[in-house]
């Protein structure tokens, strides 16, 4: 992503690996149009 999202901007398509296995595709796998996504870095 080269530019920050602005209010009302569309979330970019991406696929993420889940820690318990499997993956999720964003935003197509979300069940609601209003979602908060938090990215957490687990190891420093």
Q: Where are the domains of the chain?
A: 14-44
Higher pLDDT, 11 or 20: 20
2: pLDDT confidence band, cut at 50, 70 and 90?
A: low
CA distances from 2 to 12, 19, 29 (A): 11, 26, 23
Instruction: Give yes or no for residue 1 having a pLDDT over 60.
Output: no
Which has more confidence, 1 or 32? 32
* CA gap 28, 43 in Å, rounded: 28
The average pLDDT across 22-30 equals 90
Phi, psi of 25 (to 5 degrees): -105, 125
Residue 29 half-sphere exposure, CB side, CA atoms within 13 Å? 10
């Amino acid at each position: 992503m080269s530019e920050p999202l602005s209010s009302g901007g569309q979330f970019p398509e991406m696929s993420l690996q889940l820690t318990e296995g499997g993956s999720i595709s964003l935003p197509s796998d979300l069940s609601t149009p209003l979602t908060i996504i938090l990215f957490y870095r687990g190891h420093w």
